[in-house]
Amino acid sequence: MRFSSLKVVHIISSLNSGGAEKMLTRLINNFSSGEHIVISLTTLGTLGPELCKKGFEVHALDMDILNFFIKSVSLFRLLKFLKPDVVQTWMYHADFLGGLVARLCRVKAVYWNVRNTRIPQGIFSRTGTVIFLCILTSYFVPKKIICCAHSGRKFHAKLGYRSDRLTVIPNGYEVGDALKASKGLSLRSVLNIPSSTFVIGIIGRYDFLKGHDVLIDAVEKLLPELKCSVTFLCAGRGVDENNHELLSLIKRANVENVFTLLGERSDIPAVLNTLDVLCLPSRAEGFPNVVAEAMLYQIPCVVADVGDASLIVSETGYIFKAGDSNSLAKKLKMIVALSKQKRKALGKVARSQIVQRYDISDICEKYENLYLSSKE
């Protein structure tokens, strides 16, 4: 069977601007053929309308706790009507519910997609309960369980997922257009940052696992040792002047004068083009998209040894022990001390590495081959 004749239905928990949602969007935008339909268990979010504009069929079930059973029936009826050849689910809730309903609709080719290396909100949370149910059903619902990171594969195998069904297909990126599309975009003039100032960025929502406190501790240690002007740009949901906890951490470290809080941004290319270095101080990650995206923009990275971050960066940046602010301060000092020419050389190698390993067209081919194998 040829891939062009396959109908693939993607079921995802939401269509907001998260890593899984963006990866799904990149994937279906770049498949060479086949019919792709998207079902969001909740709302259209921010990405749903964009997919509709591009001609994709998108359904939003508006599911919540109160209407769970009614909407589960709606999902069953919708899948029976669509008659997909393949059902690809994304994230734990969609894996469990979407996968089970697909099986009840007699869809044999069901694939899960898992993204984490830690249980969100803890083992006793609602998500923890769903993960336990996924562990049980992993033995008979999915043909394969796609992990975006090698660390994610190991983590889910240890949890009890059926290990022989776990496979790794990393995230992919539209490598050809990134630099061209963002040419000239920068926030330096808008934020009045002099060209001589070294800019270090952290992009990610405010969350304990994202390690903003680790960065702040490192900056407190680093500043007295620097001989150049430096500023730290922080972007992400909850990373703004309304976050009193974050402001308190910054004030306590007496580093207010070098931090700029941008909040959640839709112009990430402009943010990236403002940076000299990207920092990932996270305590936990799977496949950190922001690192790969920064490297694609020729920005060298300083990353914690979490998830697949060190594998992605390898020799093109600096790696420190997760949660260790002393180690982070040391690595930041080292990269700031490099000449501009050496940092640019690192950036070029970083981009080349992403192009070679994570081109979205190659990743699409891996998904296509996996789906086709289910029909042989």
State whether the Cα torsion 163-164-165-171 is positive or negative: positive
SS3 170: coil
Share of the chain above pLDDT 70, in %: 95
Average pLDDT over residues 200-205: 94
pLDDT per position as a tens digit, 338-372: 999 999 999 999 999 999 999 999 999 999 999 98
> In the prediction, which pLDDT does 127 show?
82
Instruction: Give the model's confidence band at 179: pLDDT under 50 very low, under 70 low, under 90 confident, else very high.
Output: low
For 163-173, the pLDDT digits (tens) are 999 999 999 99
Asked if residues 370 and 169 have their Cβ atoms less than 8 Å apart, the reply is yes
**Digit-coded pLDDT (tens) for 65-86:** 899 999 999 999 999 999 999 9
Q: Where are the alpha helices (DSSP H) in 105-170?
A: 126-137, 150-159
- What average pLDDT does range 280-295 have in this prediction? 93
Contact 316, 295 (CB under 8 A): yes
Can you give the pLDDT at residue 17?
A: 80
If one counts every other C-beta atom within 10 angstroms of the C-beta of residue 342, the result is: 12
- DSSP letters along 19-32, please? HHHHHHHHHHHH-S
Q: At what angle do helices 340-358 and 360-373 cross, to 10 degrees?
A: 20
Return residue ranges of the chain for CATH 3.40.50.2000. Answer: 3-172+359-373, 178-357
Largest CA distance in the chain: 66
Across the chain, mean pLDDT equals 92
| pLDDT (tens digit per residue) in 91-131 | 999 999 999 999 999 999 999 999 887 777 667 688 889 99
CATH level 3 topology of 178-357: Rossmann fold (3.40.50)
Quickly list H helices, 275-308.
Answer: 289-296
CATH architecture label of 3-172+359-373: 3-Layer(aba) Sandwich (3.40)
Percentage with pLDDT > 90 across the chain? 80
- What value does the mean pLDDT take over residues 10-16? 94
Q: How sure is the predictor about 220, in pLDDT bands with cuts at 50, 70 and 90? A: very high
- Residue 375 pLDDT greater than 80, yes or no: no
Mean pLDDT of 27-46: 93
> Any idea which of 41-50, 111-120, 135-144, 146-155 has the lowest mean pLDDT?
111-120
Cα(267)–Cα(186) distance, integer angstroms:
10
**pLDDT at res. 184:** 63
Residue 376 has pLDDT above 60, yes or no: no
The pLDDT assigned to 337 comes to 93
The pTM for the full model equals 0.88
Instruction: Choose the weakest-confidence range: 126-135, 143-152, 174-183.
Output: 174-183
Whether residue 11 is predicted with pLDDT greater than 80 in this model: the reply is: yes
DSSP H or E run through 278 = strand 277-280
| Strand pairing report for 7-12 and 301-304 | unpaired
pLDDT on residue 329:
96
Q: What is the pLDDT of residue 26?
A: 93
145: tokens are 């369980």
Per-residue model confidence (pLDDT) at position 32: 82
Q: Report the DSSP beta bridge partners of residue 199.
A: 231
φ, ψ (nearest 5 deg) of residue 233: -95, 125
Determine the pLDDT at residue 338.
Answer: 93
263 has which bridge partners? 235
Q: What is the pLDDT of residues 295-346, one digit of tens each?
A: 999 999 999 999 999 999 999 999 999 999 999 999 999 999 999 999 999 9
Instruction: Check whether 233 has a pLDDT greater than 70.
Output: yes
Q: Which H/E stretch holds residue 250?
A: helix 244-252
- Note the Cα 313 to chain centre separation in Å: 15
Structure tokens at 80: 């029976």
pLDDT for the residue 9: 97
Strands 57-60 and 35-40, by their bridges, are parallel
